[in-house]
Chains A and B, each alone.
Chain A
């Protein structure tokens, strides 16, 4: 999903996640939804390992170490979340999402703040998720190098003047 700043990408994602009520229309989905946005829901005062383990307990995830290793978070487990950089925090959020193993991913700017290595990692993870039969809706300004992506330009769906009035 592409679109200029403020064109409503985040709003659409939050509406699809059921967090806000659309002005008109509705959405229906089968299967659990996982959301990754700029707020990772990790306690800033806790070390990353403890902050992640809360969500592991909530999700009853039996093998959380896989996601932590894949995303290279092991050296950061003792660092309080508030000291993490934007990219590190984003990777931690992605680890929490991986641990949920849900079929539908809603990713809001998953690549912002990531370095080249991390971008490749995240791209590979998304590819793996889709390859396993999962769905991913990705709002991004960067081009993702993933095969089989369909682009949805949000401007094409802008309400017409009459509809807006």
Chain B
């Protein structure tokens, strides 16, 4: 049952496949392409600030799929039917978290290569950027899922979810982008620790949120 659910979720969210939108990846690459045009093609400045821009682009790209991450399936009654088949909300949300991360985490890591080339990020900086994104995107996915579940029954959910994500994502951004500024791999460890914590609590928080949405 869980395998079929994961396959369905992936088919819905994976970029370039079926109903999935390529928007997060396109958005991410677009920011990297536009940034040198906005600030000028000075290689040293691009190399110094580019990592931070890539991090901001990754954070914002993670917000884009939130609107349809949970709310749509509540309206369709999919969670109700899965519940009747004995699946717990926590398990549904754990599967959704994995599908959400797979649909934007690895594609962003791949897209980071052209982005890094455009922003003149090389060598150690590129390595820290990729490691940081690999460690940080699960946390961003977890925050996104929790927010999507919490705001699913609200009318202005989409606008609110953007606002909610920013403070919650700050620790990941500070340590992830900070690792680039200081050329310090230890910060990546902090990013991974924050991600781990968020991934651990997300299925429970999101599961409770969709249960509460039913009662409303």
Q: A residues within 8 Å of B by Cβ? A: 14, 17-21, 32-35, 37, 39-46, 54-55, 57-60, 100
On whether the beta carbons of B85 and A41 are closer than 8 Å, the reply is no
B81 partner residues in chain A, CB cutoff 8 A: 35, 41, 55
Stretch from B59-67, B70-78, B145-153, B192-200 at the A interface: B70-78
Measured as residues with beta carbon below 8 angstroms from the partner, the interface class of chain B is 20 to 34
In the bound complex, do residue A39 and residue B1 qualify as a contact, i.e. CB atoms below 8 Å apart?
no
Please indicate the chain A residues that have their CB under 8 angstroms from the CB of B18 in the complex: 45-46
The answer to whether A41 and B215 touch across the interface, beta carbons within 8 angstroms, is no
* A-side contacts of B80, CB under 8 Å: 17, 19, 35, 39, 41
Residue of A nearest to B5 (CB): A58
Judge whether A41 and B4 touch: CB under 8 Å.
Answer: no
Complexed CA–CA distance, A15 and B10 (Å): 31
When A20-B215, A21-B215 are in contact, do A34 and B84 touch as well, CB less than 8 Å? yes
A55–B7 CA distance with the chains assembled, in angstroms: 12
Q: How many A-B residue pairs have CB under 8 A?
A: 54
Query: Are B215 and A54 closer than 8 Å at their CB atoms?
Result: no
Q: Of A39, A58, A59, which one neighbours B77 at CB under 8 angstroms? A: A39
User: Chain B binding site: helix, strand, loop or mixed by DSSP?
Assistant: helix
Q: For the complex formed, measure the closest distance between the CB of A97 and the CB atoms of chain B, giving whole angstroms.
A: 10
Within 136-169 of B, Cβ neighbours of A (below 8 Å) are at: none
A17-B84, A20-B214, A35-B81 are contacts. A43–B5 as well, Cβ < 8 Å?
no
Distance to closest chain A CB from B86 (angstroms)? 8
Q: What are 30 A-to-B residue pairs whose CB atoms are below 8 Å? A: A17-B80, A17-B84, A18-B84, A19-B84, A20-B214, A21-B215, A32-B84, A33-B84, A34-B84, A35-B80, A35-B81, A39-B76, A39-B77, A40-B77, A41-B77, A41-B78, A41-B81, A43-B8, A43-B12, A43-B19, A43-B76, A45-B19, A46-B18, A54-B4, A54-B8, A55-B81, A58-B1, A58-B4, A58-B82, A58-B85
Please tell me if the beta carbons of B76 and A44 are within 8 angstroms of each other in the complex. yes
- The docked-state distance in angstroms from the alpha carbon of A17 to that of B77 is 13
Residues of A within 8 A of B215 (CB): 20-21
Q: Does B127 belong to the interface (CB within 8 Å)?
A: no
